[in-house]
Amino acid sequence: KAGVTQTPRYLIKTRGQQVTLSCSPISGHRSVSWYQQTPGQGLQFLFEYFSETQRNKGNFPGRFSGRQFSNSRSEMNVSTLELGDSALYLCASSLNDPGNQPQHFGDGTRLSIL
């Protein structure tokens, strides 16, 4: 069974640009969550999608957005990139509720802002 796939693995952008990251969940999983991981802040919850609807959102500015497609694949978009957006972005999928079934994480997209 294929795991959670995140693309691309590495990305380099400059300030002011925008970026789109992609996440393909495990087949049959309907919940997709996104996290930002930085050395200083640890893992911070961005948002969670289920059946194309955002169910929960963390405390991030509106520059961070996401969506989920009918096949459960998800994308997150960051506009007007800032230096502080440099981080590892992790996606996780679960069957329905990530708190009640195991979350399966991808290997992440490492975003570097120059």
Partner 1 sequence: GNSVTQMEGPVTLSEEAFLTINCTYTATGYPSLFWYVQYPGEGLQLLLKATKADDKGSNKGFEATYRKETTSFHLEKGSVQVSDSAVYFCALSTYTGNQFYFGTGTSLTVIP
Instruction: Kindly list the residues in this chain that would bind partner 1 in the complex (CB under 8 A).
Output: 4, 31, 33, 35, 41-45, 48, 50, 55-56, 58, 90, 92, 97-100, 102-108
Other Cβ atoms within 10 Å of 44 Cβ, number: 14
CA–CA dist 93, 58 (Å, integer): 17
Q: Least distance (Å) from partner 1 to the CB of residue 53? A: 11
Q: Which is nearer to partner 1, 18 or 54 (CB)?
A: 54
Is the preceding peptide bond at 8 cis, omega within 30 degrees of 0? yes
Q: Which is nearer to partner 1, 12 or 43 (CB)?
A: 43
Q: Least distance (Å) from partner 1 to the CB of residue 61? A: 18
Instruction: Classify strands 42-50 and 53-57 as parallel, antiparallel or unpaired.
Output: antiparallel
Q: Least distance (Å) from partner 1 to the CB of residue 10? A: 11
Residue 96 Cα distances to 47, 72, 112, angstroms: 15, 11, 32
Q: Least distance (Å) from partner 1 to the CB of residue 93? A: 11
